[in-house]
Amino acid sequence: MHAMSMNDEKKKTGGQRAYGTPQEEFSAAVTALGKAIELHEDHMSGKAPTTGADGEKSQMKMMALMQRAYAALMEAKKSLK
């Protein structure tokens, strides 16, 4: 895996910046990822819309949750170096 540039990382994280201790960042990532998985399960079961304007909004919410989790993990990773 290659190192990402700052712009690549901003694109992947939706431009979000994460803050806090590594433990706080890890906890935030777990929470956001859990919510994204729950929303995906709702999409798959038909409990949440996947098409039309509401579906697009729901899909974008799921992506934002995944981006937040990624940003938090990348921030926590900095303490491992």
Per-residue pLDDT of the chain (81 residues; tens, 9 = 90+): 334 443 454 445 454 545 688 999 999 999 999 999 999 999 999 999 999 999 999 999 999 999 999 999 998 888 887
Question: Sign of torsion, CA 57 60 66 68?
Answer: negative
What is the DSSP code string of 37-54?
HHHHHHHHHTSS--SHHH
Q: Which pTM does this prediction carry?
A: 0.74
Burial 62-75 (b: 16+ CB within 10 A, else e): beebbbbbbbbbbb
6 CB burial (10 A radius; 0-12, 13-18, 19+):
exposed
